[in-house]
Structure 1
Amino acid sequence: MNFFENVDPFSKKNIMDSFLKLIKNKDKQFLIQIQILLEKRLIELNLNNDI
């Protein structure tokens, strides 16, 4: 088991928690920030898969 999996801010649990927080708060700015971070992470994952 990778140590960093426990602290990965993009882990499934943390992403779910973030969206639950969004739904409760309906904070549009926070939603935009999360969307940008997820898009960056997706790009990183795609780049890593290409190598």
Structure 2
Amino acid sequence: MHSLLHAGMSAALASGMVFVGTLAVVALAAVFAPTPTRRSDARKVLELLVRRAR
């Protein structure tokens, strides 16, 4: 039972870290994208991801 709980917690931590990493990459793209269109698209994606997280 303990190993099952440990595996579940590890999976939750890993998926949370992937989500945070995705947010960081999209946030950087929203700020540093070379064209206004790409920055706008990245901001829209970031808005969707943050809204989904709530």
TM-score, length-scaled by structure 1: 0.48
Which one has a larger percent helix, Structure 1 or Structure 2?
A: 2
Whose radius of gyration is greater, 1 or 2? Answer: 2
